Amino acid sequence: MRSPHPPLTEPLFYCAALDDNEVVLTDDEAHHVGVQRLRAGDAIAVFDGRGQVARGTVRAIGHREVRVTVEQRTHEPRPVPRLALYSAVPKGDRLTVLLDMATQLGMSRFTPINWQRSVAEPGARAHARWQRICLEACKQSRRAWLPEIMPPASLAEAIASARAAGDRLIAAHPASDAVSVLALHLADAPSIALFVGPEGGMTEAEVEMLRREHARLVHLGPGILRIETAAVALLALSGAWAAARQLPERPDNQ
């Protein structure tokens, strides 16, 4: 769904609470105001990660906080379709790339999956770090909805979660019956669950579990892709194709 409001052009910052006529930025967000060399009177925008955006001006800059006077509030509609990513966790810093790009492409929820052939597991501090990555990607891409970061799950738990949310299930897997994402009809899908397996591939049992739940298997070309590449490609193709099918048709001469 397209935003009914003018695009955000002001520097964008995050605050979980936008309830008053004044917003107080602290910690990293206050520091970033200084990094961007903003001064009192400069235009600024603040979002809460749940669609609400406050536009205003910087009123005062202190050592540990920045006060923003709110002049206008808007609420951005939740992007449609909702794109939930259920993925294996790649090694090292490659997950940073995955979350950054997936957020820019409109991912609504990320759930790490414990596949049978998974080789990387999230650490104790992973959740907070992943949220920071998604937050920075939202600010960069001017997205008002912050993706949910879910705890690790088994494939069975992930499928149950996707079914409970009413998601249409799509899994990247180069099976003989896999089809192109472009062959799917996604215009009527309000929410889509995208499954990406580990580097060693899904086991036959995992593929059969997805098939039993009527997941559509799709291929992403002839090459063998890394986890983060497959996830980003699947998100981009699914989101763009579904959105394009929702646009009104225009005459050929326009």
Q: Quote the tokens at residue 215.
A: 């997941």
Rg over CA atoms, the chain: 20
> Could you read off the pLDDT of 8-19 as tens digits, one per residue?
788 999 999 888
Name the burial class of residue 204, with classes exposed (0-12), middle (13-18) and buried (19+) by CB atoms within 10 angstroms of its CB.
Answer: exposed
Q: Is the pLDDT of residue 129 over 80?
A: yes
Taking the C-alpha atoms of residue 208 and residue 70, their distance in angstroms, rounded to an integer, is 53
Letter for the amino acid at 38? L
Q: Is the pLDDT of residue 33 over 70?
A: yes
Check residue 2 and give its pLDDT: 56
pLDDT top residue among 20 and 38? 38
**3-class DSSP state of 79:** coil
Q: Which of 103, 190, 191, 114 is nearest to 148 (CA)?
A: 103
Q: Is the pLDDT of residue 140 over 90?
A: yes
Q: Supply the pTM of this predicted model.
A: 0.88
Taking the C-alpha atoms of residue 41 and residue 139, their distance in angstroms, rounded to an integer, is 21
Taking the C-alpha atoms of residue 43 and residue 51, their distance in angstroms, rounded to an integer, is 19
Q: Which of 217, 244, 219 is nearest to 233 (CA)?
A: 219
**What integer is the mean pLDDT of 189-195?**
91
Q: Is the pLDDT of residue 38 over 60?
A: yes
Tell me what the pLDDT averaged over the chain comes to. Answer: 89
> Could you read off the pLDDT of 96-105 as tens digits, one per residue?
999 999 999 9
> Could you read off the pLDDT of 153-186 as tens digits, one per residue?
999 999 999 999 999 999 999 888 888 887 787 7
**3-class DSSP state of 58:** strand
Q: Quote the tokens at residue 166.
A: 């009413």
Domains of the chain: 12-75 (2.40.240.20), 82-246 (3.40.1280.10)
**What integer is the mean pLDDT of 69-89?**
93
> Could you read off the pLDDT of 45-70 as tens digits, one per residue?
999 999 999 999 999 998 889 999 99
Taking the C-alpha atoms of residue 58 and residue 66, their distance in angstroms, rounded to an integer, is 7
Q: Is the pLDDT of residue 4 over 80?
A: no
End-to-end CA distance of the chain: 22
Q: Tell me the CB-side half-sphere exposure of residue 227, using CA atoms within 13 A.
A: 30
Residue pair 246/112 in contact (Cβ under 8 Å)? The answer is no
Q: Is the pLDDT of residue 248 over 60?
A: no
Q: Is the pLDDT of residue 30 over 90?
A: yes
Q: Is the pLDDT of residue 218 over 60?
A: yes
Check residue 242 and give its pLDDT: 57
Q: Tell me the CB-side half-sphere exposure of residue 74, using CA atoms within 13 A.
A: 15
